[in-house]
Structure 1
Amino acid sequence: MNPIEVLTPLAVIRQDVQSMHAYAIQDSAGMVKLDAMENPFVLSPVLQTELGARLGAVAINRYPGARIDELKQALARSIALPAGHALMLGNGSDELISLLAMGCDLPGASIVAPLPGFVMYAMSAQLQGLAFHGVPLTADFELDEAAMLAAMREHRPAITYIAYPNNPTANLWDQAVIRRLIAEAANLGGLVVMDEAYQPFSSHTWLDEIRAQPEAHAHVLLMRTMSKFGLAGVRIGYMVGPQVLLQEIDKLRPPYNVSVLNAECALFALEHADVFAAQAAEIRRQRGLLMEALSAMQGVKVYPSEANMVLVRVSDAQRTFDALKSQGILVKNVSKMHSLLGNCLRLTVGTPEENAQLLQALKITL
């Protein structure tokens, strides 16, 4: 060994990991928090008390057991799980995305997804050593069908991600285009993952397509999260797919990846699904009012939304973001995420009071 060589524990950590940036979470203390697509409504005091009693009775001295299976069964009932399909749980959708990359990590494997899109698709590929090929959307944030097909034919991806609705653009893509992409993936022998994180706020679910044409979707997995349902702090994601596929991915799931407390919260929420459905309906109503008010503002371009967020383009995103923050309003500046998002901000739909504060702050700022 060279006597001047300095040994450091960092030497055993991959260089590409050391060059990465950690996922950034904005400090929201004291702010109107409209940056993370969270449900802004809290449980009533009565339900808070009921949930507290339920959690207090959980056997936290034991590893998760049968209660996890009961949650899977409750979710299966809530979505009317199609025949021949299975359901698996993840610690949020993020874990499911990582497990998919791990399961498909064959030599030369790759992932294709439209851009701009959810950052974890590319991050999971990088961490697992798969090639990631991002395909830019059109200028109005629609799928570029020709470019997607070309990328799929060139790279023959193990996984093609289609977010429905998309993050951060918030729109649903053309169903006919998606059907053709799904068919092409079948021809190429790859999987398609329909990511329905924002389904509670959307006018359509791809689960209906799967039910109507199960043979055409034998290679399609559908992923959802309970975060947007109203349980962002609980970290429950789930994935649905043909049993023959899902049983293979489920082998990679860490044992006890969902805690008994999280599972009990999710079961409680499903038992009170009417409460959360009412919250989602109010968020959809508030979204319409917010978009109408934003559209009336000079210098603001509002894009269609089927999620609990609204993408807007302003003349100077950084200046607007800073001005809103100085007024106690925290939104997401996505203008540097992708060239197509120049001067764009992503606004979470909040409560009526929060939305009013946002609009008032924008009037002062713009």
Structure 2
Amino acid sequence: MTDLLQRALARVRDDVQGMHAYAIQDATGLIKLDAMENPYPLPEALQRALGERLGRVPVNRYPGPRVEDLKRALAAYVDLPPGAALMLGNGSDELIALLALACDRPGAAILAPVPGFVMYAMSAQLQGLAFHGVPLTADFALDEAAMRDAIARVRPAITYLAYPNNPTANRWDPAVMRRLIAAVGDVGGLVVVDEAYQPFASHTWLDEWRADPAAHAHVLVMRTLSKFGLAGARLGYLIGAAPLVAELDKVRPPYNVSALNAECALFALEHADVFAEQAAAIRAERARLMAALAALPGVQVYPSEANMILVRVPDATRAFAGLRARGVLVKNVSTMHPLLANCLRLTVGTPAENDALLAALPPSL
């Protein structure tokens, strides 16, 4: 390593040099069941229509009015509550980073149950905020007493409540959620209800908001079109009280959503019935796959309201390697948190992919 390069590297923050980058597994030649993607492509006719439409997008210009068209289309799609507004992000990952940036006051902290989505903690670290993780119970429920204690002690600027949670896939007790949301409000913090997996869940927090808007002035609902079926388009959105969203929107980079992404998302919303049918197929396959997994000796299957299933096996490393050797890629989450010991996270695929997963499971787990 040259002296010039060493001096350049020394300019990078020490904590960044000590971090691990977000890991993306190489899925070449494998059945990809590791990233909670919608496994269904667009029907061929719609794929052609989308290609023709994207071909007419003026890519020589910055994104223009079509981004506002997309916000209006999303508002109609979610039945935006009165007094609420939308903010777009390049995936929900960008929105998580922007929230940390917007709330970065001296001493500010972010709070979330753990195990949870890794980007909550990573965004806090990158922005210089403290991150406080509160362990879930042994069955992956919210530990209400521990959460309330942490909220009172830390007084977090942002509290994340994923609904359903990643990687555990379960949806938490709404009554507990309501009480925790009120507790965060009492200390003047924001709550982000992360609904990345909403297409596969039986309840949305927007219904709670509509039922009691006064209790949700400090609540943001975050969603993504990635699980909807547009993981490649990178489009996330926040829903919140209009004055709050207006302040958060000030830290959003200009033109953060490309014209191509916006057009792709508009096209998808115009064909939302197709994606709804795909989500229904995934939910049906989830039930079938969970039943088949539960019948296997040594496998513990946890409840899921997402397009993934968390299972505990006797030896996660061995099971993961055996599946990969047989051509199926899943996610070994066993080292993410002590509560996840010997756990694998399985994305729900097509019927053929799920059959391949079941056939590829090692004879002895």
Name the TM tier (shorter chain).
over 0.9
Q: Return 5+ residue gaps in structure 2 as ranges.
A: none
User: How far apart in 1 are the matches of 2:290 and 2:299?
Assistant: 10
CA distance 1:88–1:81, change in 2 (3 Å): same
2: distance between equivalents of 1:164 and 1:24?
A: 23
8 A Cα contact 1:287 1:349, kept in partner? yes
Give yes or no for contact 1:324–1:365 (8 Å, CA) kept in 2.
no
Task: Return the alpha-carbon distance in structure 1 between the equivalents of residues 38 and 13 of structure 2.
Answer: 37
Counterpart code for 2:312: R
- Equivalent position of 1:213 in the other structure: 212
Secondary structure of 2:10 counterpart: helix
- 3-state DSSP class of the match of 1:291? helix
CA shift for structure 1 position 332: 0.1
Distance 1:5 1:329 in 2: 44
Q: CA deviation at 1:365?
A: 4.9
Kindly indicate whether the alpha-carbon contact (under 8 Å) linking 2:86 and 2:245 is maintained by their aligned counterparts in 1: yes
Q: Does the 8 Å CA contact 2:322/2:362 hold for their aligned counterparts? A: no
Provide the C-alpha distance between the structure 2 equivalents of 1:164 and 1:40, rounded to a whole number of angstroms. Answer: 21
1:347 and 2:342 equivalent? no
Structure 2 distance, partners of 1:324, 1:336, is 18
Structure-2 residue corresponding to 1:189 = 188
Kindly indicate whether residue 300 of structure 2 is the aligned counterpart of residue 298 of structure 1: no
Answer yes or no: is 1:110 the counterpart of 2:109: yes
Question: Aligned residue for 2:313?
Answer: 314
Q: Normalization by structure 1: what TM-score?
A: 0.98
What's 1:336 paired with?
Answer: 335
What is the TM-score with the length of structure 2 in the denominator? 0.98
Aligned to 1:59: 58
Q: Alignment partner of 1:153: what SS?
A: helix
Q: Deviation at 1:11? A: 1.4
| Letter aligned with residue 262 of structure 1 | N
Taking the TM superposition and a 5 Å limit, the aligned residue runs for 1:349-364 are: 349-362=348-361, 364=363
Q: Which residue in 1 is equivalent to 2:264?
A: 265
User: Structure 1: where are the runs of 5+ without partners?
Assistant: none
Q: CA deviation at 1:12?
A: 1.0
> Do structure 1's residue 235 and structure 2's residue 234 form an aligned pair?
yes
Separation in structure 1 between the aligned mates of residue 361 and residue 163 of structure 2, nearest angstrom: 29
Instruction: Please list, as runs of the form range in 1=range in 2, the aligned pairs for 1:105-254 lying within 5 A after superposition.
Output: 105-254=104-253
Do 1:301 and 1:314's aligned partners in 2 also have CA atoms closer than 8 Å?
Answer: yes
Give the Cα–Cα distance (whole angstroms) in 1 for the partners of residues 181 and 213 of structure 2.
Answer: 12
Give the letter aligned to residue 304 of structure 1.
P
Q: Give CA deviations for 1:44-94 in whole Å, capped at 9, x if unaligned.
A: 111111001000000000000000000000000000000000001000000
**Deviation of 1:7 (Å):** 6.1
User: The residue matched to 2:361 in structure 1 has which SS?
Assistant: helix
Aligned equivalent of 1:101: 100
How far does residue 341 in structure 1 lie from its aligned partner after superposition?
Answer: 0.1
Residue in structure 2 matched with residue 287 of structure 1 by the alignment: 286
> 1:111, 1:132 within 8 Å by CA — same for their partners in 2?
yes
- The CA deviation at 1:364 is 3.1
Equivalent residue letter for 1:97:
I
Question: How far, CA to CA, are the matches of 2:127 and 2:174 in structure 1?
Answer: 31
Residue aligning to 1:32: 31
Give the letter for the 1:30 counterpart. G
- Give the whole-Å Cα distance in 2 for the aligned partners of 1:322 and 1:62: 47
Change (3 A) 1:34 1:365: farther
- SS across alignment from 1:8: helix
CA distance in structure 2 between the partners assigned to 1:234 and 1:7 by the alignment: 37
Distance 2:272 2:58 in 1: 24
The structural deviation recorded for 1:362 is 1.3
The Cα shift of 1:191 comes to: 0.5
2:32 maps to a residue whose letter is K
Residues 209-268 of structure 1 show CA distances to partners (whole Å, capped at 9, x for unaligned) of 001100000100000000000000000000000001000000000000000111111000
